Structure 1
Amino acid sequence: MSSNVIDSKPKTRLQFIDMTRSLAILLMLEGHFVDITLSDAFRRPDSIAIFTDNQYYFYDAWEYLRGLTAPIFLTITGVVFVYLLVGNEGKKFSENPRVIKGFKRVIELFFWGYVLQFCSFHILECIAVGLFIILLLYGLYKFVRFIPLWCYFFAVGTFIFLFDIYIEQLPAETFWPVNAPFFIQNMLRGPAYLVRFPIFPWLGFTLYGAFIGSLLFQFKTHVLKFYFPFIFLISGFILFYFSYDILNQINLYFFNGKFERLPYIEWLYFRFGIILIIIGILNLLNVILGTISNNIFLKVGQYTLTIFVVHFIILYGRLTGIGITNILHHALNPIQTFIGVTLFIAFFMYFIHRIDYVNKKMEFIAIPARRFWDAAFESILEIFVKKKK
């Protein structure tokens, strides 16, 4: 059988993962639109702490929710990618179609990331690095089989979170690594206006997502059993309520209290706990409702990159030079913002509903571009294969 043929064994479709992915992209659309358009008069001043003034309660709730969007998105990316990757476990690393597709995706994410925000290191670039590291760890696992795959992802994800302690201790204006090229610094610690999602700590969410994805595949026959969602829920609540205490106890018992800054990363595990709770709730819904017929909500989660690119062009005027930010920047009151964000999300829901029609109309551009891209990637791949031989 040709190596290009994906294993015929059917894979268990986890619709709660699709639901989580759809939720993440819709939260992103909502968060970016509100951030662009809501007037400063209705925002909580920086001098007032969050949830301390009832006047800004709804704004605080929105800001709190917005802070979860990126972690959800990064985590679920790792979950989906690894769950599909290990589905072809019987194949060699170089023959696994998901590996080839993964490397293509890495380049594609870097391309769109830098096209939309040249010199910046945003979430697309962060995801690209995450997928690349996942592929490297998966390749290592194929050679060193006595260590479970989830251990690799868990260990690297934990290291990334821990290393952020060192990064945060650096002086505010210190870029790291010192004297490194700017594009390397932008990945790790560079100017704030260029670095929105540095590898430390954000990539940790993707690796923890990969950790979850590998376990989901390992226990795929249990995932849709009634008890399974409670593993997510209980784990999530433990991290949500006790992250600081757990880290503090680890510091006391394993480091004799010398790792004083360890509890400071509790905000990362706190957010990861919320993500586990969300996944658990959606997992439970999936168990109760059973197989859900394909609908526009689930379909949205299958076109996250397309939505991200288009929304960046519409909101920020990337590639076109004019966007919503040029017209409505911090100009709307809450009611106007609510109407606007509802229409904005409705537009993308309709856009995805008609995506097949759009793709059909764009074939005259998409097909030649895809052929060129595939040929270029195959040429690069052949060079590396010849060098290896």
Structure 2
Amino acid sequence: MKNNKYRLYFVDAMRAWAILMMLQGHFVDGLLDNAYRDNSNLAFSIWQYFRGITAPVFFTVSGFIFTYLLVRGDQQGMENPRVKKGIKRGLQLLFIGYLLRTNIFGLLKGEIYSSFYLVDVLHCIGLSILGIIGIYIFSSTKKKFVLPLILFATTIILFVLEPQYKIMDHIYLPEMLANYFTKANGSVFTIFPWFGYATFGAFLSLIFTRFKDYKHLYPVAITTAFIAGLSLVFYSSPFVNYLGQTTGLQLFADLYKNNYLFIRLGNVLVVFGVFMTLRRFMMNSTVLKIGSSTLSIYISHFVILYGSLTGLGFYAFLHHSLSPYIVVPGALIFMVACVYTALKYEDNKVVIKTKAGEWLQQLSTNAEPWIAFSFRLIKDTLFRVRVTVIKLFRLAKN
């Protein structure tokens, strides 16, 4: 494998780890019987804690990778070709997010189920990419420090204010839009506060870009990641409590009661530190391929587990019904199946898209005479209806 000194292989490896953690997390959480969900059980508690790290890592890495590529070239603002690609990618993720929640059987009945409007991780990552692009374009004409400052400030503000906006139900908005801001209707994720992890990842990418040629980049980055990460995990709550007692602001008191965002941010930094430390062992081609195929893996897992498009997935038939002795090996098999399916698709993506294009073209060609006939039939029918209506009006007038 060709070694690109500017490619951050450890980030690809982190993304691979995050998607695999997500696969097993969704499988176990969806199928494990409630009788075995015992927080006093050490194994379950450890699993639950690490499962909570997955989404923050995924959002942070997504923001990191996108922004790292966005600012790598010399062109700025709208002249940057990555802006157009990013907008396309963001909209694509939104489209796929809704597509995966589409139920064909419902459409055949002329009905769109309410689950179609729920917001999931793809929606939020897509919007996060668009949001980062917006911040990038706004700051492209400003001083260089403005972009990282806005990104970092966005993270802090979203995390600090989370107790205030999470209780809003946004009933004044259409449900489809409200689902991006509240979980009241069943959304799995909301754009806030998760956008904060994406902006923090974007902020980190700017730091790496700025010091990419620095001789001691990794020793300094690893040390900083561990110190900052562990400080957030163990000391962010006492610090927030101190701010609450000192200022008397209810905002900090509410944040102290559930300071999960800053703690998880600390977890993310520790994960960064671990993967940077082991970066020399993160160049396995399969691992990197998994890291670059996360969208395909996500789609395959959604179809198999949740029955996307049909509703016929493991979740529908085995929801909270299996013992750990079945769930654990089942999760491993599920991970292998999803990854294998996705990587096979990636290997044959060009051929599949070509064949699909040819099939659609042939379908369009074959359907063209019928479409033309249908239009003529509709046109003739409308003309006859018009003539009939005119005659009726004339009779009524006479």
Q: Which has the larger radius of gyration?
A: 2
| Alpha-carbon RMSD | 2.4
Find the aligned partners of 2:358 and 2:219 in 1 and give their Cα distance.
Answer: 48
Seen in structure 2, the aligned counterparts of structure 1 residues 40 and 357 have a Cα distance that, compared at 3 Å, is same
Q: Which residue of 2 aligns with 1:191?
A: 184
Residue 71 of structure 2: SS of its match in structure 1?
helix
How far off its partner does 1:104 sit?
0.3
Which residue, out of 11, 14, 24, partners 1:20?
14
Which residue, out of 208, 212, 218, partners 1:220?
212
1:30 aligns with 2:24: yes
Find the aligned partners of 1:368 and 1:124 in 2 and give their Cα distance.
Answer: 29
Which residue, out of 328, 336, 342, partners 2:326?
336
Q: Which residue of 2 aligns with 1:181?
A: 174
How far off its partner does 1:252 sit?
5.1
Gaps of 5+ in 2: 102-115, 362-398
Greater mean deviation of Cα atoms: 307-316 or 261-270: 261-270
Residue 143 of structure 1: SS of its match in structure 2?
coil
Q: TM-score, length-normalised on structure 2?
A: 0.79
- The answer (yes or no) to whether the contact 1:296–1:352 under 8 Å persists in 2 is no
How far off its partner does 1:261 sit?
2.7
Partner amino acid, structure 2, of 1:266:
N
Q: Which residue of 1 aligns with 2:226?
A: 233
Q: Which residue of 1 aligns with 2:254?
A: 261
Q: Which residue of 2 aligns with 1:154?
A: 152
Find the aligned partners of 2:183 and 2:231 in 1 and give their Cα distance.
Answer: 34
1:283 aligns with 2:276: yes
Q: Which residue of 2 aligns with 1:207?
A: 199
Partner amino acid, structure 1, of 2:179:
N
How far off its partner does 1:189 sit?
1.7
Residue 56 of structure 2: SS of its match in structure 1?
helix
1:247 aligns with 2:237: no
- The answer (yes or no) to whether the contact 2:118–2:185 under 8 Å persists in 1 is no
Seen in structure 2, the aligned counterparts of structure 1 residues 331 and 258 have a Cα distance that, compared at 3 Å, is closer
Find the aligned partners of 1:133 and 1:109 in 2 and give their Cα distance.
Answer: 13
Seen in structure 2, the aligned counterparts of structure 1 residues 284 and 273 have a Cα distance that, compared at 3 Å, is same
Greater mean deviation of Cα atoms: 341-350 or 95-104: 341-350
Find the aligned partners of 2:200 and 2:143 in 1 and give their Cα distance.
Answer: 20
Seen in structure 2, the aligned counterparts of structure 1 residues 38 and 62 have a Cα distance that, compared at 3 Å, is same
1:310 aligns with 2:300: yes
Q: What is the 5 A alignment of 1:1-389? A: 12-44=6-38, 50=39, 53=40, 56-88=41-73, 90-117=74-101, 118-145=116-143, 147-168=145-166, 170=167, 175-176=169-170, 178-193=171-186, 195-222=187-214, 225-251=218-244, 255=247, 257=249, 259=251, 260-264=253-257, 266-286=259-279, 289=280, 292-365=282-355
Q: Describe the superposition over 1:282-306 as per-residue Cα deviations: whole angstroms up to 9, x where unpaired.
A: 10111xx27x544211211101111
Q: Describe the superposition over 1:165-211 as per-residue Cα deviations: whole angstroms up to 9, x where unpaired.
A: 2124x3xxx512x4122222111125241x21112222211111111
Gaps of 5+ in 1: 1-9, 45-49, 372-389
- The answer (yes or no) to whether the contact 1:75–1:210 under 8 Å persists in 2 is yes
Seen in structure 2, the aligned counterparts of structure 1 residues 114 and 249 have a Cα distance that, compared at 3 Å, is same
Percent identity over the alignment is 32
- The answer (yes or no) to whether the contact 1:74–1:209 under 8 Å persists in 2 is yes
Seen in structure 2, the aligned counterparts of structure 1 residues 202 and 248 have a Cα distance that, compared at 3 Å, is same
Residue 72 of structure 2: SS of its match in structure 1?
helix
Find the aligned partners of 1:238 and 1:221 in 2 and give their Cα distance.
Answer: 28
